[in-house]
Amino acid sequence: MFDAETYLRAIGHTGAVAPDLPTLRALHRRHAEAIPYRSDPQDPLMNKAISTWDWDEVFRRSIVDGRGGNCFEVNETFGRLLWSIGFEVDRLSASSLLPDGRYGPEIEHQALLVKLDGESYLVDVGFGQPTSVDPLPVESAAQGSFRVVTSGEWHSYERRSKDKWIPVYRFKLVHRSLDDWDFQSEEFVNLANDIPVARLRVISRVVDGSTLTLSGKRFWKHNADEETFRMILDRAEFEDLTRLILNEN
């Protein structure tokens, strides 16, 4: 059963909590450091409608056991922690930028929006690419190597890589319910079938201030100062990195 105190122990947060910005920042960072993102196309959970998942079981395996999970598992449970503390939280849907330059369906990735003291913050602790370790103001200037750029009803979440800004995903400020993701549109099914990366296992976690991500055998490391990419062809190194990212050392 979901329990906020158990959650806080699992991510190593020992300070006081209140529905304020210092708490939001502290919890976001501790979650990103303690709980890995992992997307496994073979996970049988993905064959079930998301609104019907056993969320107590998701909490146990993803947070209490430290296994982590996909965007729905970790962002939904993180949202429930924030709700329990008293934050105003909305679910958001986002569409990822695909390798061929297209965006995915409007209802694809799950993220969160926290409204606090007249400001809206994008909160995302579950994405298969480097993302901000802190909540990101939606209507402010760049924060470190991340920013949100608004164009009409769309908001583009972007990451600075070397000397240029790269779109990661886009979203609208529309509140979503879990059953919005139950509908598998033809576009979504075609995406899963046609894009090879959608069939890869992706794992990611913040380690010593850097986001480490393995997508298949492609490894990248991102922090405020640099971003590096390389292929991991040595099996021992691949297994070592996997254990590190999944916090199994």
Q: Which fold has domain 4-245?
A: Arylamine N-acetyltransferase fold (3.30.2140)
- Output the CA torsion 106→107→109→111 (10° steps): 100
Cα 248 from Cα 117, distance rounded (Å) = 38
Arithmetic mean of pLDDT, 171-197: 73
* Average of per-residue pLDDT values in the chain: 90
Model confidence over 21-32: pLDDT tens digits? 999 999 999 999
Least confident of 35-39, 61-65, 92-96, 185-189: 185-189
pTM: 0.92
Where would I find the H helices in the chain?
Answer: 4-10, 21-34, 55-59, 71-85, 186-194, 235-245
Instruction: Please give the average per-residue pLDDT across 156-166, as a whole number.
Output: 89
Domain ranges of the chain: 4-245
pLDDT, tens only, 25-60: 999 999 999 999 998 777 777 778 888 899 999 999
> In terms of Cα–Cα distance, which of 4, 125, 32, 118 is closest to 76?
125
Q: What is residue 60's predicted lDDT score, i.e. its pLDDT?
A: 96
Higher pLDDT, 119 or 226: 119
Per the document, the length of the chain is 249
